[in-house]
Amino acid sequence: MAMELIGSRVLAPYFGNSIFVWGSLISVFLAALSSGYFIGGLISDKYPRKSILGCIIIISGIMVSVLPFIYPSLNSWIFDYDFGYRMNPLIASMALFFLPGAGMGMVSPFVIKLSAKRLETIGNLSGRIYAISTLGSITGTLGSAFFMIPTWGTKFNLNLLGIILILTGIIVGIPKKVKS
Amino acid sequence: MIFPFSLFAREKVLFEKESLYHHIVVIEQDGVRYMKFGNNILQSAVYTANPLELQLEYTKYLPLSMLFNRQANRILMIGLGGGAFPRYMREYFPNMQIDVVEIDPMVAEAAKKYFYFKEDSRCKLSILDGRVFIKRSENKYDIIVLDAYNSDSIPFHLTTKEFLTEIKEDLSPGGVVAANLWSSDYDLYRAIIKTYGEVFPYLYKFRVWGKNNIVLVAGEEKFDKKEIIHRAGLLQEALKFDYDFVFAASQLDMNEVELTGVPVLTDDYAPVDKLQHMGK
C-alpha cells in the first residue's frame, strides 16, 4: 500500500493525476498480489525453506530500491513512445511495480506454509497471517500518506522501503542457531 | 408572515452530478449561476443577464497578464471551470487564439450547458491532465494561465519546478505565466512563490481586492509598478473593459515574500497537503 501511494508520485509528473493513473496503479498492484499469492503458494510447497522466503523478500527489496534509478528514464521513454493517454500509465505501472508487487504477494502463502504444523489449526493460522498482513498494509498506508510523503522525497522513500524489505529478508532468511 | 424557506426560495439547483473527480453542482440564485465542487467550493460564476461580465473578483485580475505581453495573441488556460476568462478574452481580443485544457469532461459539459462556454476555431478545448498537455504541446504560447489549484486541494504535479520549467519551454519570447493562488494558506503560498522564483526571474503579485486570492504573473522581464499602471490605463481606454482595470493593476504588491523555512517544490518532494494545512 505504501508503494501504491508513493507510486502515484512516481507517475504524476509524466502521466498526470487522472483517474487512469489511479486505476492503473491499483489494478497493477492487485494483479501483482494475485500472481504473487499463486506463485508463492506453488514455490512454498516445493521448497518450504525460510532461506527461499528470505531471498524472495530480498529480491523484492532490491527491485524497489532500484526504482528511483529506473523510473525517470522509463517514464520518459513511455511518454515519448506514447501508447495513448490511458495505456501510458498502465504500461508504466506494469513495468515498474508488477515484479516487486508480486514478490511481496508471495510472502503470505509462504509464511502459512512454513508456520503450519497441524491441519486442525490451519484456519486459525491463516486468519492470523491475513490479519497481520492487512495490519501491515494499514501501517504502510498511514505511514506513507501521513508521514513519509510529506517528509521526504519520492526517491528517498522508495530507497527506504527497499532497504526495509532487504533487512526483513535477511532477518527471515538467516538460519537461526538451534538451542540445545 | 415570513416563511423561513423563503430565504432560499430563489436558489435553484440546475445540475448535480458525480464526475470522475468531483461532485459538481450548478445552482442559480438572483440571476447568478454558480459552479461548485462539493457543497461549498466555488469554482465559477456567471450573470445570466450578461454572461460576459466577470463575476468572481479574481477573474478580473487574470487579464492583467496582458500588460506584460501586449502583443499576445495566443493563450493557454489550464483549468476551465465555468470558462469565464476564455469567454472574456475571446470577446475583448478579437485576434486571440485560446486553448483550454481541463481534466474533467463533466466540468466541460457543465460549462457549455450552463456557463455559455463555446468551442470554435478560436477557442479549443482539450480534455487532458494539464501536465500531460504541456509536455505534449508543440505550440508556443504568449500567456499561460493556471487556474487548476483548488482552495481545498492542490495537484502537486502542477506546482513543481520541473512543471514550471516545462511551462517556460512552451512560452514564446516575452511570454508570461499567470496563476490564481491563495495567500490564506500562507506556507503553501510561500513555497509556490519560492518555486516560481526558481524558474522565472520576475514575479508580480496582485492582491485581489477583498479576497484571499493572489493573481501571480511571472516572466523574464522587469517592469516597475508605474509602467504597469500606465499600461493598464492605455488598455482600459482602448478596449473599454466593464470594470476598473486600472484599480486591479494598482493592487500590484511589490513587497518581497519571506521565503525562509519553506521548500522549493519538486517532482521528487512536493508536500503540498502538509504545507496547506500547516498550523491548522
Q: What is the ipTM of this complex?
A: 0.87
**Other beta carbons within 10 Å of A63:** 21
Q: So what's the pLDDT on residue B7?
A: 53
B71 by Cβ neighbours in 10 Å (0-12 / 13-18 / 19+) ranks as: exposed
Going from N- to C-terminal start, the domains of chain B cover 55-276
B265 and chain A in contact, CB less than 8 A = no
Tell me the pLDDT tens digit for each residue of A6-61: 999 999 999 998 999 999 999 999 999 999 999 999 999 999 999 999 999 999 99
Q: So what's the pLDDT on residue B149?
A: 86
Tell me the pLDDT tens digit for each residue of B26-81: 999 999 999 999 877 889 999 999 998 999 999 999 999 999 999 999 999 999 98
Q: Is A66 left (phi over 0), alpha (psi -120 to 50) or beta?
A: alpha
Q: Write down the residue that cell numbers 509598478 correspond to.
A: B225
Tell me the pLDDT tens digit for each residue of A6-21: 999 999 999 998 999 9
- Give the residue ranges of DSSP H helices in B149-185: 161-169
Contacts of A80-87 with C-beta under 8 Å, sequence gap 24+, read A85/A18, A85/A20, A85/B128, A85/B132, A86/A20
Mean pLDDT value across residues B231-255? 96
Question: Residue B31: what residue type?
Answer: G
Contacts of A12 in chain B (CB under 8 A): 131, 155-157
Contact partners, residue B142, CB within 8 Å, separation at least 6 = B69, B71, B72, B73, B74, B75, B171, B172, B174, B175, B176
Q: So what's the pLDDT on residue B2?
A: 47
CB-based contact B132 A149, cutoff 8 Å: no
Minimum-distance CB partner of B132 among A9, A15, A154? A15
Q: So what's the pLDDT on residue B41?
A: 83
Q: So what's the pLDDT on residue B276?
A: 87
pLDDT band of residue A178 (cuts 50, 70, 90) is low
Q: Residue-wise over B114-153: b if at least 16 C-beta within 10 A, else e? A: bbbbeeeeebebbbbbbbbbbbebeeebbbbbbbbbbbee
CB-based contact A13 B130, cutoff 8 Å: no
Minimum-distance CB partner of B157 among A17, A150, A155? A17
State residue B33 phi and psi, 5-degree precision.
Answer: -100, 135
* Percent of chain A's residues with pLDDT above 70: 98
**Other beta carbons within 10 Å of B169:** 11
A75 by Cβ neighbours in 10 Å (0-12 / 13-18 / 19+) ranks as: buried
In 3D, which of A5, A18, A157, A146 has the Cα closest to residue B277? A146
Tell me the pLDDT tens digit for each residue of B212-242: 999 999 999 999 999 999 999 999 999 999 9
- Picking from A11, A17, A82 by the largest number of B CB atoms within 10 A of its own CB, the best residue to mutate is A17
State residue B53 phi and psi, 5-degree precision.
Answer: -65, 135
Please say whether the beta carbons of B194 and B262 come within 8 A.
yes
CB-based contact A12 B273, cutoff 8 Å: no
CA end-to-end span of chain B: 43
Query: What is the C-alpha to C-alpha distance for residues B82 and A33, in angstroms, rounded to an integer?
Result: 42
A160 and chain B in contact, CB less than 8 A = no
Minimum-distance CB partner of A13 among B103, B128, B131? B131
Beta strands in chain B (DSSP E): 12-18, 23-29, 32-37, 41-47, 74-78, 97-102, 123-127, 141-146, 171-182, 202-207, 213-219, 252-253
pLDDT band of residue B278 (cuts 50, 70, 90) is confident
For the domain covering B55-276, report its CATH number.
Answer: 3.40.50.150
A134: pLDDT strictly greater than 90: yes
B279: pLDDT strictly greater than 70: no
A176: pLDDT strictly greater than 80: no
Q: So what's the pLDDT on residue B116?
A: 94
- Cβ-Cβ pairs closer than 8 A, A with B, add up to 50
B5: pLDDT strictly greater than 60: no
Going from N- to C-terminal start, the domains of chain A cover 2-173
Contacts of A149 in chain B (CB under 8 A): 271
A18 and chain B in contact, CB less than 8 A = yes
pLDDT band of residue B6 (cuts 50, 70, 90) is very low
In 3D, which of A141, A161, A156, A59 has the Cα closest to residue A100? A59
Contacts of A15 in chain B (CB under 8 A): 129, 132
- CA B236 vs. chain centroid, Å, equals 20
pLDDT band of residue B9 (cuts 50, 70, 90) is low
3-state secondary structure of A2: helix
Q: Write down the residue that cell numbers 450573470 correspond to.
A: B47
